Structure 1
Amino acid sequence: MVGLATATVLAPQGPARSADVLGVERTSPDHLRAPFRTYAPQESLPWRPRRTESQAVYSLPMGLEGMATIDHTLSRLCQRGAFGQKIDGYYWAATPKRRYGVAFSGGANLDDPQKQAKPGKTYFFHGQDSRCVVYVGDQAKLMPHYIGP
């Protein structure tokens, strides 16, 4: 008897009426649009993008041989990010084999928080990552090869 009563309670009572079916409510199509915002880019951004163009400063047809030597201490500092160019490749030197990034001891394009730069020197960078190699040359010796702006 209990089984028969349960079966009658659970059995459908005929076709479903439209009042029993939940209706789908439609939302306003405005929810699909992006919110309208007016802003001035100069006011919303505290910084302005700078446009920088690289510039060749030395043309070395014989390469760095005889002009600069490897400095292992500065190379290790460069590999750790403690000595390097402010903007990688902003100044560069052209050689037959490759292009080197250049920074000057006076601070032009040089990031040197530990004050390792010596006056009158030019620093050439091959890579600016964990394999960075730094070459040091005398500015006076390199002056005949200077091709500034």
Structure 2
Amino acid sequence: MVEAARVRGRLPPILFLPLSAGAQEVLPTDRTDPGHLRPPFRAYEPPPPGYQPRPRRTESRRVYALPQGLNGLATFDRTLSQLCRRGAFLQEIDGLYWAATPDFRYGVAFSGGANLVDPQNRRQPGKVYFFRNQDSRCSVWVGDQAKLMPHYIGG
């Protein structure tokens, strides 16, 4: 009979029962002693007396305004880009410092170590590093800090 109904395009009325027949029942929720939810030990240890945490600056800051882009100011570096893709040369905080161009927003790191993770010590003095897509597509441009100074707007 089910096959005959399926052939004609109709299903028997038994299959149209609601699937949540027991959903009308609401189970009562009894409150228990809230003390049983406390951890058995103290998970947080307070800092030692006299400890003053060093405030960390994490807000994003624009440090360069480059109306003509990176043309003539920075050159693409294939080696550093490959290292960046592997996580061996990158910004400590992606986009902490950034440069504004008409086309893109580049992350910036400085050769003095500001916002730069460089475990292989590939940085060179007096250079500024521009990062784009700090992931598997990472590209790094290198520019001379002295040449970029007229475009510096940091503070």
Task: Report the TM-score when normalising by structure 2.
Answer: 0.68
Structure 2, unaligned stretches of length 5 or more? Answer: 1-29, 48-52
Contact 1:124 1:134 in 2 (8 A): yes
Structure 2 counterpart of 1:89, one-letter code:
G
Structure 2 counterpart of 1:34, one-letter code:
L
- 1:30 counterpart (24, 30, 33): 33
Highest Rg: 1 or 2? 1
Q: Which runs of 4+ in 1 moved over 4 A?
A: 39-42, 47-51
CA distance in 1, matches of 2:107, 2:145: 15
CA distance in 2, matches of 1:65, 1:73: 19
- 1:105 counterpart (103, 111, 119): 111
Aligned pairs, number:
121
CA distance in 2, matches of 1:109, 1:28: 51
Q: CA RMSD in A?
A: 3.1
Cα offset for 1:40?
Answer: 9.4
Q: Any residues of structure 2 matched to 1:5-84 within 5 Å, and which? A: 29-30=32-33, 34-35=37-38, 43=46, 50=56, 52-84=58-90
Deviations 1:23-70 (A, max 9, x none): xxxx98326963389x796728xx999561011100000101111010
Cα distance change on mapping 1:36 and 1:84 into 2, 3 Å = closer
Task: Report the TM-score when normalising by structure 1.
Answer: 0.71
CA distance in 2, matches of 1:29, 1:55: 51
Percentage of pairs with the same residue: 65
